[in-house]
């Protein structure tokens, strides 16, 4: 099938199969997303981040853990150190590159745990209603009543410092908004005619929730997850800054800022460069989320 024929097949107004309709929707969504310059810019930054993290041993010019006190606090552009060195003589660029692995590790785990937990709680609450809805939503309200970082600090203090405990703490504080979104979607979907038809055919609550409600909630959750990534990165950096996330000598960006704050006046690059990395990645996720919202949430686009 030639490129022109394939394009015509994807853009056909009268698809002849479910497979063609599915691929046509994906292609039209991609065309819509591609037309958003800022969203493509954010996607490019994140793709570059993933590639850099994957190829860290090849890309990094130095060992991120190697200390050389004779070269401590070297400025940007110094011989052999493009972004300078920190207070222990470690290459900042190499530590940034390896630190991207930790950032992606935290973001990926939280993005897998929190939305799934929120989706489960929200759909069960919205579909069953009654006392189940009241109990689950009041628990959700309790979590929402506390600032995310404060609640994460409390969980990490109870669980102990460490990157795994930081991921768990952030996930425990991140799921309530997803539960609210899933519940709102479920309340709308459960009263629709096709859900009534499925119920009359003998489908149980579990099948209706997993096969018919969950797929319709996914797009809203994807948009919310992407827009929440910046907050997750900042929360992880905040825990690292306070010494409750990844432990030294791990090159976590928040911990790098904490280590350089003592030299912010005379050697500003030690703390500023990791901060700029956090800012850039957070901005990329926000730009990507805006683009996905235009594609996956037509209601939000029309408002």
pLDDT band (50, 70, 90) for residue 2? very low
Indicate whether 262 belongs to any domain.
Answer: yes
Indicate whether 1 belongs to any domain.
Answer: no
The pLDDT score that the predictor gives to residue 101 is: 92
Question: To which residue do tokens 């030690």 refer?
Answer: 270
Indicate whether 93 belongs to any domain.
Answer: yes
- Whether 183 and 137 have beta carbons less than 8 Å apart is answered as yes
CA–CA gap between residue 190 and residue 209 (Å, rounded): 9
DSSP, collapsed to helix, strand or coil, labels residue 56 as: helix
CA–CA gap between residue 86 and residue 91 (Å, rounded): 7
CA–CA gap between residue 84 and residue 51 (Å, rounded): 23
| CATH number assigned to the domain comprising residue 50 | 1.10.3720.10
Indicate whether 10 belongs to any domain.
Answer: no
Helix and strand numbers, DSSP H then E, in the chain: 14, 0
Q: To which H or E segment does residue 33 belong?
A: helix 18-34
* pLDDT tens-digit map of 220-269: 888 888 888 888 898 888 888 888 888 888 888 998 998 888 888 888 98
* pLDDT tens-digit map of 33-50: 888 889 899 999 999 999
Total tally of structural domains belonging to the chain = 1
The pLDDT score that the predictor gives to residue 297 is: 63
Please give the average per-residue pLDDT across 154-161, as a whole number: 84
- Ramachandran quadrant class, 160 (left: phi over 0; alpha: psi -120 to 50; beta: rest): left
CA–CA gap between residue 303 and residue 298 (Å, rounded): 9
The pLDDT score that the predictor gives to residue 58 is: 92
List the structure tokens of 123: 């759909």
Indicate whether 275 belongs to any domain.
Answer: yes
Question: To which residue do tokens 């990329």 refer?
Answer: 284
Indicate whether 85 belongs to any domain.
Answer: yes
* Residue 167 predicted with pLDDT over 60: yes
CA–CA gap between residue 107 and residue 40 (Å, rounded): 20
List the structure tokens of 121: 């709680």
Q: Which domain holds residue 249?
A: 19-72+79-302
* pLDDT tens-digit map of 72-126: 888 888 878 888 888 888 999 999 999 999 989 988 999 889 999 999 999 999 8
List the structure tokens of 126: 């919205």
* Residue 7 predicted with pLDDT over 80: no
pLDDT band (50, 70, 90) for residue 298? low
Indicate whether 222 belongs to any domain.
Answer: yes
Judged by average pLDDT, the poorest of 63-67, 224-228, 297-301 is 297-301
* pLDDT tens-digit map of 177-219: 999 999 988 888 888 887 888 878 877 778 888 888 888 888 8
CA–CA gap between residue 17 and residue 9 (Å, rounded): 11
Indicate whether 84 belongs to any domain.
Answer: yes
DSSP, collapsed to helix, strand or coil, labels residue 16 as: coil
The pLDDT score that the predictor gives to residue 224 is: 87
C-alpha 249, offset from chain centre: 25
Please give the average per-residue pLDDT across 21-35, as a whole number: 81
Q: What is the dihedral of CA 25, 26, 27, 32, to 10 degrees?
A: 90
* pLDDT tens-digit map of 130-151: 898 899 999 999 988 888 888 8
Mean of all residue pLDDT scores within the chain:
85
**What is the radius of gyration, based on Cα positions, of the chain?**
23
């Amino acid at each position: 099938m030639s490129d022109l024929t394939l394009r015509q097949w994807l853009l056909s107004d009268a698809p002849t199969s479910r497979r063609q309709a599915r691929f046509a929707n994906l292609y039209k969504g991609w065309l819509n997303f591609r037309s958003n310059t800022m969203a493509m810019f954010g996607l490019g930054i994140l793709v570059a981040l993933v590639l850099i993290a994957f190829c860290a041993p090849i890309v990094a010019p130095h060992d991120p853990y190697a200390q050389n006190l004779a070269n401590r606090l070297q400025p940007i552009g110094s011989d052999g150190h493009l972004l300078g060195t920190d207070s222990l003589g470690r290459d900042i660029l190499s530590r940034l590159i390896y630190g991207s692995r930790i950032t992606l590790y935290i973001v990926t785990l939280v993005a897998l745990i929190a939305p799934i937990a929120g989706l489960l709680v929200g759909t069960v609450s919205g579909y069953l209603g009654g006392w189940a809805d009241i109990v689950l939503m009041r628990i959700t309200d309790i979590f929402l009543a506390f600032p995310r970082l404060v609640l994460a600090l409390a969980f990490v203090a109870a669980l102990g410092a460490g990157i795994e405990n930081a991921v768990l703490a952030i996930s425990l504080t991140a799921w309530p908004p997803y539960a609210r979104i899933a519940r709102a979607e479920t309340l709308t979907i459960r009263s629709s005619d096709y859900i009534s038809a499925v119920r009359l055919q003998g489908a149980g609550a579990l099948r209706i929730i997993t096969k018919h409600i969950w797929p319709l909630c996914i797009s809203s959750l994807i948009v919310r997850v992407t827009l929440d990534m910046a907050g997750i990165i900042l929360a992880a950096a905040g825990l690292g800054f306070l010494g409750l996330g990844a432990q030294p000598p791990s090159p976590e960006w928040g911990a790098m800022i904490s280590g350089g704050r003592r030299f912010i006046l005379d050697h500003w690059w030690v703390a500023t460069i990791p901060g700029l990395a956090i800012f850039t990645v957070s901005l990329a996720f926000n730009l990507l989320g805006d683009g996905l919202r235009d594609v996956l949430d037509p209601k939000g686009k029309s408002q």
